């Protein structure tokens, strides 16, 4: 079971529903057998840039930041997994620039962030391929195309 705290700190109005976010989290975290608690915070560019600068020394907003909970065993009696911060205008801009359906891009970034909370990473090529393949499989299960393939919009128009 997943308990999701969805915090909307963005002025955007056309956001996925809490149920959508919970569904994508369930998919991304299903390999974890225990209960999990996580927070997803939806932010605008200013907060996204500030957090990225503070935690990654990169002075621009990025699509998703993951903050795994690093709590020593036995300290808290809750299954806290961590936090995701998603920058809404970056998600919208990337989807438009890459010709992706906005819902598919949202699903991808939530799943991507959840996998980071589980310890997946893409620092080296082998880790990146493992993580990307899992993302492809999970997204395919819910009918979304490969997020790493170019020209998705063109492919959808031609089919």
Q: Quick check: 48 and 90 in contact, CB under 8 A?
A: yes
Q: How many domains, the chain? A: 1
| Crossing angle of the two packed helices 45-56 and 88-98, in degrees rounded to 10 | 100
> Tokens in use for 128?
């990146």
Per-residue model confidence (pLDDT) at position 156:
41
Per-residue model confidence (pLDDT) at position 75:
63
Helices (H), ranges, the chain: 18-28, 45-56, 88-98, 102-117, 125-141, 152-158
Q: Taking the CA of residue 94 as centre, how many other CA atoms within 13 Å lie in the half-sphere pointing to its CB?
A: 19
What pLDDT tens digit does each residue of the chain (159 aa) get? 899 999 999 999 899 999 999 999 999 999 886 788 999 999 999 999 999 999 999 999 999 999 998 776 666 667 789 999 999 999 999 999 999 999 999 999 999 999 999 989 888 888 889 999 999 999 999 999 999 986 554 334 332
Q: Quick check: 72 and 29 in contact, CB under 8 A?
A: no
Single pTM value for the model: 0.89
Per-residue model confidence (pLDDT) at position 74:
65
Per-residue model confidence (pLDDT) at position 103:
96
Indicate the DSSP class of residue 86: E
Per-residue model confidence (pLDDT) at position 63:
96
Q: Which domain, by its residues, includes 135?
A: 2-158
Per-residue model confidence (pLDDT) at position 133:
94
CA 23, CA 19: separation in Å to the nearest integer? 6
Q: CATH no. for residue 32?
A: 3.40.390.30
Chain centroid offset of residue 92 CA: 13
């Amino acid at each position: 079971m997943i308990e999701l705290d969805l915090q909307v700190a963005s002025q955007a109005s056309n956001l996925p529903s809490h149920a959508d976010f919970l569904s994508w989290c369930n998919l991304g975290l299903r390999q974890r057998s225990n209960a999990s608690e996580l927070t997803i915070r939806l932010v605008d560019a200013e907060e996204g840039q500030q957090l990225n600068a503070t935690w990654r020394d990169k002075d621009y907003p990025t699509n998703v930041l993951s903050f795994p909970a690093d709590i020593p065993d036995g300290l808290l009696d809750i299954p806290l997994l961590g936090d995701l911060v998603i920058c809404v205008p970056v998600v919208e801009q990337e989807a438009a620039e890459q010709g992706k359906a906005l819902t598919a891009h949202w699903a991808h970034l939530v799943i991507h962030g959840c996998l980071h909370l589980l310890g997946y990473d893409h620092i080296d090529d082998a880790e990146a391929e493992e993580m990307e393949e899992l993302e492809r499989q999970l997204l395919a299960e819910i009918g979304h195309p490969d997020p790493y393939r170019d020209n998705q919009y063109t492919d959808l128009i031609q089919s």
